[in-house]
Structure 1
Amino acid sequence: MNPPNDPRPELSDAALLKSHVEGDPTAFGELFTRHRDRLWAVALRTMRNREDAADALQDAMVSAFRRASSFRGDSAVTSWLHRIVVNACLDQIRRSKVRRAEALPENIDHDPKMVTDEDPARDLEAADLAGAVEEALGRINADQRAALVLVDMEGLSVEEAAAQLGVPKGTVKSRCARGRTRLAVLLEPLRGAA
């Protein structure tokens, strides 16, 4: 049974994008609604704070809205949207040249596995570790961070990440390797504490 708030669940992402290009005033909103949670997660992890993530996501969606007719169908619509979001984030980071080291809220993904009522001490340790990882992510190169977010946090393959970032697979691999090496150095003090 289809949810009552999804008026056209039978339309694919590509069909919704095509409808938008053809002038359907609600099609793009439906497409965004389908994917907003993942797009928001990518923007938030890449930008490191809510205001900047919201700005980057808004810029990305305006760009996608305006450039929808340029979608060639070489990849999935979701890959195209993710690429636009990542590029908007990287553009904003490059423009601002500001690196923030603010930890993300512990409930960034509202992950029920992250917090349990069974062992508050373990929950606190997990939250501290997540905060330290997020802070360390904020201290590495933006291109490396984008690659790590897509591959290690969003679970995309190297090929998918390369398509979204518009770079060769080897570039994604090297960015991930360099980013992981940098993260290992930044997180080394936690090893001694554990």
Structure 2
Amino acid sequence: MNKSLDFHLGPPDDRLISLVVPVYNERVMLPLFFDRVLPVLAAVNLRHEIVFVDDGSEDGSAVYIRNEIKRTPGLRLVKLSRNFGKEAAVTAGLEHARGDAVIVLDADLQDPPEQIPAMIESWQSGADVVLMQRRSRAGETAFKRWSAHLFYRLLNRTSRTDIPVDTGDFRLMSRKAVDAILTLNERNR
């Protein structure tokens, strides 16, 4: 049993946490996603919703999510007409998320949902954005590790803003940060 699921973040709170979950052909992973994420959300003393964004899946992912919506409160589905790509799916999710804080989490569980309570704790302490950084890249090919290493170093050399190494989309953003992102008009983020 994971001990991190046994703690609570203080007295019950009326604020809402939204998870935005882009989905593209993840039907096989969805049962495992629910098995890992729902207990984590139940352990925090906050209301929560999960906004799934089906990005044109062709494997029955949306059908599976619709069936789960019938059984599990707090689930929502945004179904895109075709595959627009992950960034467009995340943006659609941010547009539909109602939470006071929004966490972006991939359906394939490449990032551990068990870290969600620590993210919420940082947000409750005043952070507007909480980035999660990988400690290891276990299970990835040598090429994937090398290309990720190279990507972050090149990105930081060419960017005016320092990007923390090995951070991905797994992050928490306050409502203030989400609203700021949604004011941007870029099509290609």
Task: Give the TM-score of the pair, scaled to structure 1.
Answer: 0.26
Normalising by structure 2, we get a TM-score of 0.26
* Greater gyration radius: 1
